[in-house]
Chain A
Amino acid sequence: MPLFLLKRLGQALVAIFGVMTLVFFIQRLTGDPTYLLVPETATQEDIEAMRASLGLDQPLLVQYVAYLWDMVRLDFGRSYVQNVAVTEIIASRLPYTLQLAGGALLVAIVVGLPVGLALAIWRRHRGTNLLMGLVLGAQSMPTFWSGILMIMIFGVWLGWLPPSGSGSLAHLVMPSIALGLLSMATYARIARSSVLDELSKDYIRSARARGVGTGRMVRTHLLRNSLIPVISISALEISQLLAGAVIVETVFAWPGLGQLTVQSVQSRDFVVVQGIVLLGAFVTISVNLIADILYSVVDPRIRKGDGP
Protein backbone atom coordinates (compact mmCIF):
# COMPACT_ATOMS: atom_id res chain seq x y z
CA MET A 1 0.00 0.00 0.00
CA PRO A 2 2.58 2.68 0.94
CA LEU A 3 4.61 1.77 -2.12
CA PHE A 4 1.59 2.20 -4.36
CA LEU A 5 0.84 5.54 -2.74
CA LEU A 6 4.39 6.80 -3.08
CA LYS A 7 4.52 5.77 -6.72
CA ARG A 8 1.22 7.44 -7.47
CA LEU A 9 2.29 10.60 -5.63
CA GLY A 10 5.51 10.62 -7.63
CA GLN A 11 3.53 10.35 -10.87
CA ALA A 12 1.37 13.29 -9.83
CA LEU A 13 4.40 15.43 -9.08
CA VAL A 14 5.96 14.53 -12.43
CA ALA A 15 2.69 15.48 -14.12
CA ILE A 16 2.56 18.87 -12.37
CA PHE A 17 6.16 19.56 -13.30
CA GLY A 18 5.39 18.47 -16.86
CA VAL A 19 2.37 20.75 -17.11
CA MET A 20 4.46 23.72 -16.00
CA THR A 21 7.06 22.87 -18.60
CA LEU A 22 4.40 22.48 -21.28
CA VAL A 23 2.88 25.86 -20.47
CA PHE A 24 6.37 27.40 -20.60
CA PHE A 25 6.87 26.06 -24.09
CA ILE A 26 3.37 26.99 -25.27
CA GLN A 27 4.24 30.59 -24.36
CA ARG A 28 7.15 30.35 -26.74
CA LEU A 29 5.23 28.80 -29.64
CA THR A 30 5.43 32.07 -31.50
CA GLY A 31 9.04 32.69 -30.55
CA ASP A 32 8.99 35.72 -28.29
CA PRO A 33 6.47 35.82 -25.43
CA THR A 34 7.05 39.53 -24.83
CA TYR A 35 4.38 40.29 -27.42
CA LEU A 36 1.86 38.31 -25.37
CA LEU A 37 2.47 40.48 -22.36
CA VAL A 38 2.61 44.02 -23.69
CA PRO A 39 -0.53 46.00 -24.52
CA GLU A 40 -1.34 46.35 -28.20
CA THR A 41 -0.44 50.04 -28.16
CA ALA A 42 3.10 49.48 -26.84
CA THR A 43 5.99 51.10 -28.67
CA GLN A 44 9.18 49.31 -29.62
CA GLU A 45 10.92 50.84 -26.60
CA ASP A 46 8.23 49.58 -24.25
CA ILE A 47 8.68 46.13 -25.68
CA GLU A 48 12.45 46.26 -25.22
CA ALA A 49 12.06 47.52 -21.66
CA MET A 50 9.54 44.81 -20.86
CA ARG A 51 11.77 42.16 -22.36
CA ALA A 52 14.70 43.22 -20.22
CA SER A 53 12.68 43.62 -17.03
CA LEU A 54 11.19 40.13 -17.36
CA GLY A 55 14.52 38.58 -18.18
CA LEU A 56 13.25 37.44 -21.58
CA ASP A 57 16.55 38.51 -23.16
CA GLN A 58 18.31 35.82 -21.12
CA PRO A 59 19.10 32.34 -22.52
CA LEU A 60 16.12 29.98 -22.64
CA LEU A 61 17.47 27.70 -19.92
CA VAL A 62 17.91 30.60 -17.49
CA GLN A 63 14.35 31.74 -18.22
CA TYR A 64 13.06 28.24 -17.65
CA VAL A 65 14.77 27.85 -14.27
CA ALA A 66 13.57 31.30 -13.19
CA TYR A 67 10.03 30.38 -14.27
CA LEU A 68 10.07 27.10 -12.32
CA TRP A 69 11.46 28.89 -9.25
CA ASP A 70 8.54 31.37 -9.41
CA MET A 71 6.06 28.51 -9.68
CA VAL A 72 7.57 26.67 -6.71
CA ARG A 73 7.15 29.82 -4.62
CA LEU A 74 3.54 30.02 -5.91
CA ASP A 75 4.34 33.32 -7.56
CA PHE A 76 2.22 33.40 -10.71
CA GLY A 77 3.20 36.92 -11.64
CA ARG A 78 1.25 40.16 -11.98
CA SER A 79 -1.40 41.06 -14.48
CA TYR A 80 -0.09 43.89 -16.66
CA VAL A 81 -3.59 44.91 -17.62
CA GLN A 82 -5.01 45.21 -14.12
CA ASN A 83 -1.70 45.61 -12.24
CA VAL A 84 -2.79 43.14 -9.56
CA ALA A 85 -1.19 39.86 -8.55
CA VAL A 86 -2.60 36.92 -10.51
CA THR A 87 -3.27 34.91 -7.35
CA GLU A 88 -5.40 37.78 -6.04
CA ILE A 89 -7.43 38.01 -9.25
CA ILE A 90 -8.03 34.26 -9.31
CA ALA A 91 -8.93 34.19 -5.62
CA SER A 92 -11.58 36.87 -6.15
CA ARG A 93 -13.28 34.85 -8.91
CA LEU A 94 -12.84 31.34 -7.52
CA PRO A 95 -15.82 31.39 -5.09
CA TYR A 96 -18.23 32.00 -7.99
CA THR A 97 -16.92 29.07 -9.97
CA LEU A 98 -17.05 26.85 -6.89
CA GLN A 99 -20.68 27.83 -6.30
CA LEU A 100 -21.51 27.06 -9.89
CA ALA A 101 -19.64 23.73 -9.89
CA GLY A 102 -21.34 22.80 -6.60
CA GLY A 103 -24.75 23.62 -8.03
CA ALA A 104 -24.03 21.66 -11.16
CA LEU A 105 -22.79 18.64 -9.20
CA LEU A 106 -25.95 18.77 -7.11
CA VAL A 107 -28.14 18.84 -10.24
CA ALA A 108 -26.12 16.02 -11.79
CA ILE A 109 -26.33 13.74 -8.75
CA VAL A 110 -29.89 14.49 -7.65
CA VAL A 111 -31.27 13.95 -11.15
CA GLY A 112 -28.72 11.55 -12.61
CA LEU A 113 -28.67 8.84 -9.95
CA PRO A 114 -32.43 8.24 -9.72
CA VAL A 115 -32.66 8.29 -13.51
CA GLY A 116 -29.88 5.72 -13.77
CA LEU A 117 -31.53 3.55 -11.14
CA ALA A 118 -34.86 3.75 -12.94
CA LEU A 119 -33.22 2.88 -16.25
CA ALA A 120 -31.72 -0.26 -14.72
CA ILE A 121 -34.67 -1.47 -12.67
CA TRP A 122 -37.33 -0.91 -15.32
CA ARG A 123 -35.07 -1.78 -18.23
CA ARG A 124 -37.77 -3.77 -19.95
CA HIS A 125 -40.31 -0.98 -19.71
CA ARG A 126 -41.38 0.99 -22.77
CA GLY A 127 -40.91 4.38 -21.17
CA THR A 128 -37.31 3.52 -20.39
CA ASN A 129 -36.33 3.84 -24.02
CA LEU A 130 -37.68 7.36 -24.06
CA LEU A 131 -35.79 8.22 -20.88
CA MET A 132 -32.62 6.73 -22.36
CA GLY A 133 -33.16 8.88 -25.43
CA LEU A 134 -33.39 11.96 -23.22
CA VAL A 135 -30.15 11.04 -21.43
CA LEU A 136 -28.48 10.59 -24.79
CA GLY A 137 -29.80 13.90 -26.00
CA ALA A 138 -28.49 15.63 -22.89
CA GLN A 139 -25.09 14.24 -23.72
CA SER A 140 -24.97 15.63 -27.23
CA MET A 141 -26.36 19.01 -26.22
CA PRO A 142 -23.77 21.77 -26.53
CA THR A 143 -23.81 23.56 -23.15
CA PHE A 144 -23.92 26.96 -24.78
CA TRP A 145 -27.03 26.05 -26.72
CA SER A 146 -28.91 24.52 -23.79
CA GLY A 147 -27.96 27.62 -21.82
CA ILE A 148 -29.30 29.96 -24.48
CA LEU A 149 -32.50 27.92 -24.79
CA MET A 150 -33.09 28.15 -21.07
CA ILE A 151 -32.46 31.90 -21.08
CA MET A 152 -34.95 32.18 -23.93
CA ILE A 153 -37.67 30.07 -22.30
CA PHE A 154 -37.36 30.70 -18.57
CA GLY A 155 -35.65 34.07 -18.63
CA VAL A 156 -37.30 35.92 -21.49
CA TRP A 157 -40.63 34.26 -22.31
CA LEU A 158 -41.79 33.00 -18.95
CA GLY A 159 -39.77 35.46 -16.90
CA TRP A 160 -39.37 33.03 -14.04
CA LEU A 161 -35.63 33.42 -13.58
CA PRO A 162 -33.10 36.20 -14.14
CA PRO A 163 -31.61 35.63 -17.63
CA SER A 164 -28.00 36.30 -16.59
CA GLY A 165 -25.69 37.82 -14.02
CA SER A 166 -25.19 36.93 -10.38
CA GLY A 167 -26.32 38.04 -6.95
CA SER A 168 -29.01 35.69 -5.75
CA LEU A 169 -29.77 32.02 -5.56
CA ALA A 170 -32.19 32.40 -8.48
CA HIS A 171 -29.26 33.50 -10.64
CA LEU A 172 -27.53 30.23 -9.92
CA VAL A 173 -30.35 27.94 -11.07
CA MET A 174 -30.01 28.06 -14.86
CA PRO A 175 -26.18 28.03 -15.04
CA SER A 176 -26.11 25.06 -12.67
CA ILE A 177 -28.57 23.12 -14.80
CA ALA A 178 -26.76 23.99 -18.04
CA LEU A 179 -23.41 22.93 -16.59
CA GLY A 180 -24.81 19.91 -14.78
CA LEU A 181 -26.66 18.46 -17.76
CA LEU A 182 -23.66 16.65 -19.23
CA SER A 183 -22.54 15.27 -15.86
CA MET A 184 -26.13 14.28 -15.19
CA ALA A 185 -26.06 12.07 -18.28
CA THR A 186 -22.73 10.56 -17.20
CA TYR A 187 -24.08 9.81 -13.73
CA ALA A 188 -27.25 8.28 -15.12
CA ARG A 189 -25.29 5.97 -17.41
CA ILE A 190 -22.81 4.93 -14.77
CA ALA A 191 -25.51 4.35 -12.17
CA ARG A 192 -27.42 2.33 -14.75
CA SER A 193 -24.60 -0.02 -15.67
CA SER A 194 -23.45 -0.29 -12.09
CA VAL A 195 -26.93 -1.27 -10.91
CA LEU A 196 -27.29 -3.67 -13.84
CA ASP A 197 -24.04 -5.37 -12.82
CA GLU A 198 -25.30 -5.76 -9.27
CA LEU A 199 -28.73 -6.98 -10.39
CA SER A 200 -27.17 -9.97 -12.13
CA LYS A 201 -25.44 -11.16 -8.97
CA ASP A 202 -26.50 -14.13 -6.89
CA TYR A 203 -27.37 -12.30 -3.70
CA ILE A 204 -30.01 -10.29 -5.52
CA ARG A 205 -31.49 -13.44 -6.97
CA SER A 206 -31.67 -15.12 -3.59
CA ALA A 207 -33.16 -12.00 -2.06
CA ARG A 208 -35.78 -12.07 -4.79
CA ALA A 209 -36.36 -15.77 -4.13
CA ARG A 210 -36.91 -15.04 -0.44
CA GLY A 211 -39.69 -12.74 -1.53
CA VAL A 212 -38.00 -9.35 -0.99
CA GLY A 213 -39.93 -6.64 -2.83
CA THR A 214 -38.38 -4.21 -5.30
CA GLY A 215 -38.44 -1.22 -2.96
CA ARG A 216 -36.74 -3.03 -0.12
CA MET A 217 -34.27 -4.72 -2.42
CA VAL A 218 -33.18 -1.35 -3.80
CA ARG A 219 -32.91 0.24 -0.36
CA THR A 220 -31.09 -2.50 1.52
CA HIS A 221 -29.05 -4.22 -1.15
CA LEU A 222 -28.62 -2.39 -4.40
CA LEU A 223 -27.85 1.19 -3.46
CA ARG A 224 -24.87 0.56 -1.22
CA ASN A 225 -23.21 -1.91 -3.50
CA SER A 226 -23.58 0.03 -6.69
CA LEU A 227 -22.48 3.36 -5.25
CA ILE A 228 -18.73 2.66 -5.34
CA PRO A 229 -18.13 3.47 -9.01
CA VAL A 230 -20.46 6.44 -8.71
CA ILE A 231 -18.43 7.95 -5.89
CA SER A 232 -15.14 7.59 -7.69
CA ILE A 233 -16.47 9.05 -10.92
CA SER A 234 -17.43 12.17 -8.96
CA ALA A 235 -13.76 13.06 -8.65
CA LEU A 236 -13.34 12.95 -12.40
CA GLU A 237 -16.52 14.93 -13.00
CA ILE A 238 -15.24 17.80 -10.86
CA SER A 239 -12.45 18.64 -13.30
CA GLN A 240 -14.93 18.29 -16.17
CA LEU A 241 -17.19 20.82 -14.48
CA LEU A 242 -14.37 23.33 -14.01
CA ALA A 243 -13.57 23.14 -17.72
CA GLY A 244 -17.24 23.37 -18.72
CA ALA A 245 -17.55 26.50 -16.60
CA VAL A 246 -15.62 28.46 -19.24
CA ILE A 247 -18.53 28.34 -21.64
CA VAL A 248 -21.43 28.33 -19.20
CA GLU A 249 -20.09 31.38 -17.38
CA THR A 250 -19.78 33.23 -20.67
CA VAL A 251 -23.37 32.37 -21.63
CA PHE A 252 -24.80 33.52 -18.30
CA ALA A 253 -22.35 36.36 -17.58
CA TRP A 254 -21.44 34.57 -14.38
CA PRO A 255 -18.36 36.29 -12.88
CA GLY A 256 -16.26 33.19 -12.19
CA LEU A 257 -12.95 31.84 -13.46
CA GLY A 258 -14.37 30.79 -16.81
CA GLN A 259 -15.50 34.29 -17.68
CA LEU A 260 -12.16 35.57 -16.39
CA THR A 261 -10.35 33.22 -18.79
CA VAL A 262 -12.21 34.51 -21.81
CA GLN A 263 -11.92 38.15 -20.75
CA SER A 264 -8.21 37.71 -20.16
CA VAL A 265 -7.65 36.22 -23.60
CA GLN A 266 -9.59 39.09 -25.15
CA SER A 267 -7.69 41.75 -23.20
CA ARG A 268 -4.41 39.97 -23.92
CA ASP A 269 -3.77 39.39 -20.22
CA PHE A 270 -1.72 36.28 -20.79
CA VAL A 271 -0.34 35.92 -17.27
CA VAL A 272 -3.86 35.43 -15.93
CA VAL A 273 -4.71 32.82 -18.60
CA GLN A 274 -1.56 30.95 -17.67
CA GLY A 275 -2.45 31.04 -13.97
CA ILE A 276 -5.92 29.62 -14.63
CA VAL A 277 -4.57 26.85 -16.87
CA LEU A 278 -2.04 25.84 -14.20
CA LEU A 279 -4.77 25.88 -11.56
CA GLY A 280 -7.03 23.75 -13.77
CA ALA A 281 -4.28 21.22 -14.33
CA PHE A 282 -3.41 21.17 -10.64
CA VAL A 283 -7.04 20.49 -9.69
CA THR A 284 -7.32 17.74 -12.31
CA ILE A 285 -4.13 16.03 -11.19
CA SER A 286 -4.96 16.17 -7.47
CA VAL A 287 -8.53 15.05 -8.00
CA ASN A 288 -7.29 12.06 -10.02
CA LEU A 289 -4.76 11.28 -7.31
CA ILE A 290 -7.45 11.33 -4.63
CA ALA A 291 -9.73 9.19 -6.78
CA ASP A 292 -7.00 6.60 -7.32
CA ILE A 293 -6.23 6.46 -3.62
CA LEU A 294 -9.91 6.11 -2.69
CA TYR A 295 -10.36 3.49 -5.33
CA SER A 296 -7.38 1.47 -4.17
CA VAL A 297 -8.82 1.49 -0.67
CA VAL A 298 -12.06 0.05 -2.01
CA ASP A 299 -10.59 -2.35 -4.55
CA PRO A 300 -7.31 -4.00 -3.54
CA ARG A 301 -6.66 -5.28 -7.06
CA ILE A 302 -5.79 -1.76 -8.22
CA ARG A 303 -2.93 -1.60 -5.71
CA LYS A 304 -1.19 -4.56 -7.27
CA GLY A 305 -1.91 -3.76 -10.89
CA ASP A 306 0.52 -1.36 -12.46
CA GLY A 307 -1.40 1.12 -14.57
CA PRO A 308 0.34 2.65 -17.60
Chain B
Amino acid sequence: MSAVGNVMRRSFVPRRGGGVPVGLFVAIFAAMILIAIFAPLIAPYDPDRQNLLGRLKAPGTEARDVFYLLGSDELGRDLLSRVIYGARISLSVAILSVLLSGCVGTALGMLAGYLRGWVGIVVMRLVDIFLSIPAILLAIIMVAVLGPGFVNVVFVLALTRWPRYARVAYGQTLSVAEQPYVRLARAMGAGPGRVLFRHILPNIIAPLSVVATLEFGLMVLFEAGLSFLGLGVQPPMASWGAMLSVGRNYVSNAWWIATFPGICLFLLVLSVNLIGDRLSDYLNPKSR
Protein backbone atom coordinates (compact mmCIF):
# COMPACT_ATOMS: atom_id res chain seq x y z
CA MET B 1 0.00 0.00 0.00
CA SER B 2 2.78 2.39 0.83
CA ALA B 3 6.51 2.44 1.06
CA VAL B 4 6.28 3.49 4.69
CA GLY B 5 4.02 0.60 5.51
CA ASN B 6 6.45 -1.87 4.03
CA VAL B 7 9.51 -0.38 5.67
CA MET B 8 7.72 -0.23 8.99
CA ARG B 9 6.51 -3.75 8.88
CA ARG B 10 9.86 -5.14 7.90
CA SER B 11 11.99 -3.33 10.44
CA PHE B 12 9.51 -3.84 13.26
CA VAL B 13 8.86 -7.50 12.86
CA PRO B 14 7.16 -8.36 16.14
CA ARG B 15 9.60 -9.37 18.77
CA ARG B 16 7.06 -9.66 21.51
CA GLY B 17 6.72 -12.42 24.01
CA GLY B 18 10.31 -12.72 25.15
CA GLY B 19 9.78 -14.79 28.26
CA VAL B 20 6.25 -16.00 27.59
CA PRO B 21 5.70 -19.74 27.99
CA VAL B 22 4.48 -20.53 24.48
CA GLY B 23 3.78 -24.15 25.42
CA LEU B 24 0.98 -22.96 27.66
CA PHE B 25 -0.66 -21.10 24.79
CA VAL B 26 -0.24 -23.99 22.38
CA ALA B 27 -2.08 -26.05 25.01
CA ILE B 28 -4.86 -23.45 25.26
CA PHE B 29 -5.24 -23.38 21.49
CA ALA B 30 -5.29 -27.18 21.25
CA ALA B 31 -7.84 -27.34 24.07
CA MET B 32 -10.10 -24.89 22.24
CA ILE B 33 -9.97 -26.97 19.09
CA LEU B 34 -10.82 -30.13 21.04
CA ILE B 35 -13.66 -28.33 22.80
CA ALA B 36 -15.01 -27.17 19.46
CA ILE B 37 -14.85 -30.65 17.93
CA PHE B 38 -16.37 -32.44 20.91
CA ALA B 39 -18.80 -29.68 21.87
CA PRO B 40 -21.87 -31.94 21.90
CA LEU B 41 -20.14 -34.35 24.32
CA ILE B 42 -18.77 -31.68 26.64
CA ALA B 43 -21.62 -29.20 26.81
CA PRO B 44 -23.90 -30.06 29.74
CA TYR B 45 -27.07 -28.80 27.99
CA ASP B 46 -28.45 -27.89 24.58
CA PRO B 47 -27.05 -24.41 23.91
CA ASP B 48 -30.32 -23.24 22.35
CA ARG B 49 -32.69 -24.61 24.98
CA GLN B 50 -34.54 -21.74 26.56
CA ASN B 51 -35.75 -21.76 30.12
CA LEU B 52 -37.80 -18.68 30.80
CA LEU B 53 -37.91 -19.36 34.53
CA GLY B 54 -34.14 -19.45 34.63
CA ARG B 55 -33.37 -16.12 32.97
CA LEU B 56 -30.25 -14.16 33.97
CA LYS B 57 -29.29 -16.59 36.72
CA ALA B 58 -25.93 -15.92 38.35
CA PRO B 59 -23.10 -18.46 37.95
CA GLY B 60 -23.46 -21.46 40.21
CA THR B 61 -27.22 -21.27 40.66
CA GLU B 62 -29.89 -23.79 39.84
CA ALA B 63 -33.28 -23.26 38.30
CA ARG B 64 -35.75 -25.89 37.12
CA ASP B 65 -33.28 -28.84 37.30
CA VAL B 66 -30.70 -26.91 35.30
CA PHE B 67 -27.41 -26.13 37.03
CA TYR B 68 -25.92 -22.94 35.61
CA LEU B 69 -22.19 -23.21 36.25
CA LEU B 70 -21.45 -19.97 34.37
CA GLY B 71 -24.92 -18.50 34.75
CA SER B 72 -27.66 -18.11 32.16
CA ASP B 73 -28.48 -15.51 29.52
CA GLU B 74 -31.56 -13.39 28.90
CA LEU B 75 -33.53 -16.38 27.59
CA GLY B 76 -32.42 -18.77 30.31
CA ARG B 77 -29.96 -20.60 28.07
CA ASP B 78 -26.97 -22.19 29.78
CA LEU B 79 -24.00 -19.89 29.27
CA LEU B 80 -21.42 -22.67 29.65
CA SER B 81 -22.97 -24.69 26.84
CA ARG B 82 -23.22 -21.62 24.64
CA VAL B 83 -19.59 -20.66 25.28
CA ILE B 84 -18.55 -24.21 24.35
CA TYR B 85 -20.56 -24.17 21.14
CA GLY B 86 -19.27 -20.65 20.45
CA ALA B 87 -15.78 -22.11 19.99
CA ARG B 88 -17.16 -23.96 16.97
CA ILE B 89 -18.33 -20.77 15.26
CA SER B 90 -15.16 -18.80 16.00
CA LEU B 91 -12.80 -21.53 14.91
CA SER B 92 -14.72 -22.70 11.86
CA VAL B 93 -15.22 -19.19 10.48
CA ALA B 94 -11.54 -18.43 11.07
CA ILE B 95 -10.28 -21.68 9.54
CA LEU B 96 -12.52 -21.47 6.49
CA SER B 97 -11.84 -17.81 5.79
CA VAL B 98 -8.08 -18.21 6.27
CA LEU B 99 -8.06 -21.22 3.91
CA LEU B 100 -10.17 -19.48 1.29
CA SER B 101 -8.34 -16.13 1.38
CA GLY B 102 -4.99 -17.89 1.67
CA CYS B 103 -5.57 -20.05 -1.42
CA VAL B 104 -7.00 -17.25 -3.54
CA GLY B 105 -4.40 -14.71 -2.41
CA THR B 106 -1.47 -17.08 -2.83
CA ALA B 107 -2.58 -18.21 -6.28
CA LEU B 108 -3.07 -14.67 -7.53
CA GLY B 109 0.16 -13.41 -5.94
CA MET B 110 2.17 -16.29 -7.41
CA LEU B 111 0.69 -15.76 -10.85
CA ALA B 112 1.43 -12.03 -10.65
CA GLY B 113 4.99 -12.66 -9.55
CA TYR B 114 5.63 -15.39 -12.10
CA LEU B 115 4.00 -13.91 -15.18
CA ARG B 116 4.66 -10.26 -14.27
CA GLY B 117 3.75 -8.00 -17.19
CA TRP B 118 0.14 -6.80 -17.24
CA VAL B 119 -1.10 -9.67 -15.06
CA GLY B 120 1.27 -8.55 -12.34
CA ILE B 121 0.24 -4.93 -12.67
CA VAL B 122 -3.48 -5.71 -12.60
CA VAL B 123 -3.27 -8.05 -9.59
CA MET B 124 -1.02 -5.81 -7.54
CA ARG B 125 -3.08 -2.69 -8.27
CA LEU B 126 -6.15 -4.65 -7.18
CA VAL B 127 -4.30 -5.53 -3.97
CA ASP B 128 -3.55 -1.84 -3.36
CA ILE B 129 -7.17 -0.92 -3.92
CA PHE B 130 -8.52 -3.56 -1.54
CA LEU B 131 -6.00 -2.63 1.11
CA SER B 132 -6.82 1.07 0.95
CA ILE B 133 -10.32 0.47 2.28
CA PRO B 134 -10.21 -0.11 6.06
CA ALA B 135 -10.87 -3.84 6.37
CA ILE B 136 -13.81 -3.62 8.76
CA LEU B 137 -15.57 -1.07 6.52
CA LEU B 138 -15.00 -3.24 3.46
CA ALA B 139 -16.46 -6.21 5.32
CA ILE B 140 -19.45 -4.16 6.50
CA ILE B 141 -20.33 -2.83 3.06
CA MET B 142 -20.20 -6.35 1.64
CA VAL B 143 -22.39 -7.70 4.42
CA ALA B 144 -24.77 -4.81 3.74
CA VAL B 145 -25.08 -6.02 0.14
CA LEU B 146 -25.03 -9.78 0.66
CA GLY B 147 -26.77 -9.99 4.02
CA PRO B 148 -25.42 -11.59 7.21
CA GLY B 149 -25.09 -15.30 7.97
CA PHE B 150 -22.38 -17.93 8.43
CA VAL B 151 -21.55 -18.56 4.75
CA ASN B 152 -21.61 -14.90 3.82
CA VAL B 153 -19.33 -13.99 6.71
CA VAL B 154 -16.73 -16.53 5.56
CA PHE B 155 -17.03 -15.29 1.99
CA VAL B 156 -16.79 -11.63 2.98
CA LEU B 157 -13.77 -12.19 5.24
CA ALA B 158 -11.99 -14.13 2.49
CA LEU B 159 -12.76 -11.43 -0.05
CA THR B 160 -11.50 -8.75 2.35
CA ARG B 161 -8.26 -10.44 3.35
CA TRP B 162 -6.84 -12.18 0.25
CA PRO B 163 -4.61 -9.19 -0.65
CA ARG B 164 -2.45 -9.80 2.42
CA TYR B 165 -1.40 -13.21 1.07
CA ALA B 166 -1.18 -11.98 -2.51
CA ARG B 167 1.31 -9.31 -1.54
CA VAL B 168 3.58 -11.74 0.33
CA ALA B 169 3.28 -14.44 -2.36
CA TYR B 170 4.07 -11.88 -5.06
CA GLY B 171 7.23 -10.63 -3.40
CA GLN B 172 8.44 -14.13 -2.57
CA THR B 173 7.71 -15.48 -6.04
CA LEU B 174 9.61 -12.61 -7.64
CA SER B 175 12.76 -13.54 -5.75
CA VAL B 176 12.40 -17.32 -5.98
CA ALA B 177 11.60 -17.26 -9.72
CA GLU B 178 15.05 -15.83 -10.41
CA GLN B 179 16.86 -18.64 -8.57
CA PRO B 180 19.09 -20.83 -10.79
CA TYR B 181 17.15 -24.02 -10.07
CA VAL B 182 13.89 -22.47 -11.22
CA ARG B 183 15.50 -21.17 -14.38
CA LEU B 184 17.00 -24.60 -14.96
CA ALA B 185 13.64 -26.29 -14.49
CA ARG B 186 12.13 -23.94 -17.02
CA ALA B 187 14.95 -24.50 -19.45
CA MET B 188 14.40 -28.24 -19.16
CA GLY B 189 10.86 -27.73 -20.34
CA ALA B 190 8.80 -27.62 -17.15
CA GLY B 191 5.47 -25.89 -17.77
CA PRO B 192 4.23 -22.96 -15.68
CA GLY B 193 2.00 -25.22 -13.57
CA ARG B 194 4.84 -27.53 -12.65
CA VAL B 195 7.27 -24.69 -11.96
CA LEU B 196 4.74 -22.88 -9.76
CA PHE B 197 3.62 -25.86 -7.72
CA ARG B 198 6.74 -28.03 -7.56
CA HIS B 199 9.47 -25.43 -7.45
CA ILE B 200 8.10 -22.13 -6.23
CA LEU B 201 5.25 -22.96 -3.84
CA PRO B 202 7.30 -25.16 -1.45
CA ASN B 203 9.84 -22.36 -1.13
CA ILE B 204 7.40 -19.60 -0.30
CA ILE B 205 5.06 -21.55 1.97
CA ALA B 206 6.94 -20.65 5.18
CA PRO B 207 6.36 -16.87 5.16
CA LEU B 208 2.80 -17.46 3.97
CA SER B 209 2.09 -19.72 6.92
CA VAL B 210 3.24 -16.98 9.28
CA VAL B 211 0.84 -14.56 7.60
CA ALA B 212 -1.91 -17.17 7.88
CA THR B 213 -1.36 -17.63 11.62
CA LEU B 214 -1.44 -13.92 12.31
CA GLU B 215 -4.47 -13.54 10.05
CA PHE B 216 -6.19 -16.35 11.95
CA GLY B 217 -6.31 -14.27 15.13
CA LEU B 218 -7.57 -11.32 13.14
CA MET B 219 -10.32 -13.43 11.55
CA VAL B 220 -11.49 -14.56 14.98
CA LEU B 221 -11.72 -10.90 16.01
CA PHE B 222 -13.45 -9.93 12.76
CA GLU B 223 -16.10 -12.60 13.07
CA ALA B 224 -16.72 -11.66 16.68
CA GLY B 225 -16.81 -7.98 15.72
CA LEU B 226 -19.31 -8.49 12.91
CA SER B 227 -21.47 -10.71 15.10
CA PHE B 228 -21.23 -8.14 17.87
CA LEU B 229 -22.59 -5.53 15.47
CA GLY B 230 -25.38 -7.93 14.48
CA LEU B 231 -23.90 -8.31 10.99
CA GLY B 232 -22.26 -11.70 11.42
CA VAL B 233 -23.52 -15.13 12.34
CA GLN B 234 -27.21 -14.86 13.13
CA PRO B 235 -29.10 -15.98 16.26
CA PRO B 236 -29.74 -18.47 17.69
CA MET B 237 -26.24 -19.64 16.69
CA ALA B 238 -23.96 -19.15 19.66
CA SER B 239 -21.23 -16.76 18.55
CA TRP B 240 -18.99 -15.20 21.20
CA GLY B 241 -19.35 -11.83 19.51
CA ALA B 242 -23.15 -11.98 19.57
CA MET B 243 -23.07 -13.09 23.22
CA LEU B 244 -20.93 -10.08 24.05
CA SER B 245 -23.47 -7.87 22.37
CA VAL B 246 -26.22 -9.30 24.60
CA GLY B 247 -23.91 -8.94 27.59
CA ARG B 248 -23.41 -5.28 26.70
CA ASN B 249 -27.15 -4.72 27.22
CA TYR B 250 -27.22 -6.53 30.56
CA VAL B 251 -23.97 -5.09 31.82
CA SER B 252 -25.53 -3.64 34.94
CA ASN B 253 -27.34 -6.75 36.20
CA ALA B 254 -25.67 -9.78 34.60
CA TRP B 255 -21.90 -9.33 34.37
CA TRP B 256 -21.31 -12.98 33.48
CA ILE B 257 -22.90 -12.85 30.02
CA ALA B 258 -20.17 -10.59 28.61
CA THR B 259 -17.34 -11.79 30.81
CA PHE B 260 -17.00 -15.48 29.89
CA PRO B 261 -17.23 -15.25 26.08
CA GLY B 262 -14.84 -12.30 26.32
CA ILE B 263 -12.27 -14.32 28.23
CA CYS B 264 -12.46 -17.14 25.65
CA LEU B 265 -12.08 -14.71 22.77
CA PHE B 266 -9.14 -13.02 24.44
CA LEU B 267 -7.37 -16.31 25.22
CA LEU B 268 -7.90 -17.66 21.72
CA VAL B 269 -6.57 -14.53 20.00
CA LEU B 270 -3.68 -14.19 22.44
CA SER B 271 -2.58 -17.77 22.00
CA VAL B 272 -2.83 -17.63 18.20
CA ASN B 273 -0.85 -14.38 18.11
CA LEU B 274 1.87 -15.79 20.35
CA ILE B 275 2.13 -18.97 18.28
CA GLY B 276 2.33 -16.87 15.13
CA ASP B 277 5.11 -14.72 16.56
CA ARG B 278 7.10 -17.70 17.66
CA LEU B 279 6.57 -19.34 14.28
CA SER B 280 7.83 -16.23 12.53
CA ASP B 281 10.92 -16.11 14.78
CA TYR B 282 11.55 -19.79 14.12
CA LEU B 283 11.16 -19.64 10.35
CA ASN B 284 13.00 -16.37 10.02
CA PRO B 285 16.02 -16.33 12.34
CA LYS B 286 17.25 -13.05 10.91
CA SER B 287 14.37 -11.18 12.50
CA ARG B 288 15.70 -12.31 15.91
Q: Are B273 and A140 in contact (CB-based, < 8 A)?
A: yes
Within 8 A of A (CB), among B212-249: 217, 221, 224-225, 228-231, 241, 244-245, 247-248
Cβ–Cβ < 8 Å partners of A152 in chain B? 251, 255, 258-259
Whether a CB of chain A sits under 8 angstroms from the CB of B30 is: no
Chain B nearest CB from A8 CB (Å) reads 8
In the assembled complex, the CB of B116 is this many whole angstroms from the nearest CB of chain A, namely: 12
Which residues of chain B are near A22, meaning CB under 8 Å?
Answer: 129-130, 133
* Residues of chain B at interface, number, CB under 8 A: 65
Q: Is B282 an interface residue (CB 8 A)?
A: no
What residues of chain B lie closer than 8 Å to A243, measured between beta carbons? 134-137
Among B33-41, B55-63, B94-102, B139-147, the one that faces the other chain is B139-147
User: Inside 8 A of B221's CB, which chain A residues have their CB?
Assistant: 142
Let me know if B16 and A19 touch, CB within 8 A.
no
Stretch of A101-109, A128-136, A206-214 contacting B (4+ beta carbons < 8 Å): A128-136
Evaluate whether A295 and B7 lie within 8 angstroms (CB atoms) in the complex, with A27-B145, A132-B17 already known: yes
* Distance in Å: Cβ of B104 to nearest Cβ of chain A: 16
Q: Are B170 and A288 in contact (CB under 8 A)?
A: no
CA of A60 to CA of B217, assembled, Å: 39
Could you tell me which A residues sit within 8 Å of B by CB distance? 11, 14-15, 18-19, 21-23, 26-27, 29-30, 33, 36, 129, 132-133, 135-137, 139-142, 144-145, 148-149, 151-152, 155-156, 163, 189-190, 193, 229, 232-233, 235-236, 239-240, 242-244, 246-247, 250-251, 261-262, 264-266, 268, 270, 273-274, 276-277, 280-281, 284-285, 288-289, 291-292, 295-296, 302, 305, 307-308
* Chain B contacts to A: CB under 8 angstroms: 1-8, 11-12, 14-20, 124-126, 128-130, 132-138, 140-146, 167, 170-171, 217, 221, 224-225, 228-231, 241, 244-245, 247-248, 251-252, 255, 258-259, 262, 265-266, 269-270, 273-274
Known contacts A149-B262, A302-B7, A307-B6; 9 additional CB pairs below 8 A are A29-B142, A132-B17, A145-B244, A149-B259, A236-B8, A243-B134, A270-B145, A284-B133, A288-B132
